Amino acid sequence: MQSHPLFLSRAMCERLSVINSSFVSIVLTCLSSFAFAASTKPNVVLLVSDDQGWGDVGYHGGEMSTPNLDQLAKDGMELNRFYTYPICSPTRTSLLTGHISMRHDIFSPIPANLTIPHDEQLMNQAFKEAGYTTMTAGKWHLGMTHVRDLPINRGFDHTYGSLRAGPDYWTHGRGEQKDWARDGKTVFEKGYVTDLFGNEISRLIRDRDPSKPFFSYVAFTAPHPPLQAPQEYVDKYAHIDNGDRRIYCAMVEILDVAIGNILKAIDDEGIRDNTIVIFFSDNGPTTVGDSSGFRGRKGLVYEGGTRMPAIIRWPGKIPAGIRSEQPMVVYDLFPTFVEALDLKTNLNTPFDGESLWDVLKTGGKRERKTDIVIGTGTSYSVHSGDYKLGHSNINRNAPNSDPELVELFKIYDDPKETTNIADTHQDVVEKIMANNAVFADMVRNAPFREGRRGRAARIARGDSDPSGRNGVGTSGGASAPAGPPIARDNDGNIIHLHESLPRD
């Protein structure tokens, strides 16, 4: 067959030139994006759920659907002995400061007259000073005494969500007052809270400056009450008899979907290998959650209140698909990041936590250099070597308290805390108590703050405050509201929560 030379018209040549230029531009843009991802410091994403129990994830046998968390556990390292405080604000305080929360007088959900300290460097501030873009979505729950307490004024470049715990999942507030803001200013939006948190962080990741690394703290409210979820998700769990449990499972599934959206944004941006992802729950579940047989629940220093589902993923840096038995506590995370990422700090108070980067990068286990100390307003626990000490009902200011209780468990042999060996191991009890006496004194002298359930029951009975004291963070006794009253302008219009804070 005779061949013929190919002749192209001038117009065709011009079109091919345009196509070629566009193709080269696309390739260069992609290469540039991936080059930024490779050259910047690792990104960090913290995914924190609220009141989610050990058994409330699929990879621990939970009955709810959590495929994204299950896959994250396969792709990363499961932290099998990760501990938090049994209550929300202390966990968040310890996370961001690297300190035992009692140092800052935070023993319980943060009262209205306290805030996370301004003279301590927060984790996100250290990242910001290292050149990171910092972002948060979710609940703050670390103080709102003044506008300076807003997260936008505490070292975050982008903020979104609520100041208090547990806003309505549909109306984004309590009653008529909105508790919903972007960058410190109230916004009026429609949508389910958990979806909105996931969408916001996904958008910020996609819209970020790719030449800078980012730090993202996502403080989900799910599955904390109020128990609310779209009906189509609740219907998936119709086989569960308990109606509250059905809603709870639906809330966890939606949480997993939101986490999946964030992980997809990371993948779509080509930054998976350069992004550290950590997931954990802030404390144990309420009675509607599942502690998988661990003793206790939210509010108690037993394992059910403090031992949390947790995962870390950093491809190529941390071994994948394994379960770490290294004991770790939430206030270890800040010092671990400092070592792993060479962050500079400006601390007024040294870390209580210790870096565990040496064992995370190998998947090994070693003896801790420090005890794990966890406390509430009435009790504390200490993990020390093979033992766990529990010392309960020691607050001098608590009226009608139960008798003081000392418990000791060989926690590796008895993870369900069934056998108290304190009487036969007095030497161990005395040593652990002596080494941690300063923290015991903090709990012993903590101002009494009546719990919400106790307060509600007392008010229903018509009883007066048994302590004769104002509750911590209230202005008129234990029955006073947890936060400031709803503010209104001269025309009677509601001033929404973020705008109602003092500014002088």
Beta strand pairing call for 494-495 and 487-488: antiparallel
The answer to whether residues 147 and 504 touch, using CB atoms and an 8 Å cutoff, is no
Which of 74-106 are b and which e, b meaning 16 or more Cβ less than 10 Å from the residue's Cβ?
Answer: eebbbbbbbbbbbbbbbbbbbbbbbbbbbbbeb
Please answer whether residues 185 and 162 qualify as being in contact, where contact means their C-beta atoms are separated by less than 8 angstroms.
no
| Joined tokens for residue 213 | 């690394």
Give the gyration radius of the chain's Cα atoms: 25
Instruction: Quote the DSSP letter at residue 179.
Output: -
The whole-angstrom separation of Cα 451 and Cα 479 is 10
Q: How many angstroms separate the Cα of 467 from the Cα of each of 107, 403, 470? A: 18, 17, 8
**Residue 195 three-state SS:** helix
Catalytic residues: 88, 141
**Measuring CA to CA, how many Å separate 285 from each of 51, 80, 220, 245, 364?**
4, 17, 14, 12, 29
Residues 6+ apart with CB under 8 A from 110: 89, 93, 116, 141, 142, 143, 473
**Token pair in block for residue 363:** 């998947």
In terms of Cβ atoms closer than 10 Å to its own Cβ (0-12, 13-18, 19+), residue 199 is: middle
Distance of alpha carbon 270 from alpha carbon 107, whole angstroms:
41
| Identity of the amino acid at 324 | S
How many CB atoms sit inside 10 A of residue 321's CB? 11
Note every long-range contact of 232-236, with CB atoms under 8 Å and residues 24 or more positions apart, other chains counting. Answer: 236/65
CB 344 within 8 A of CB 128: no
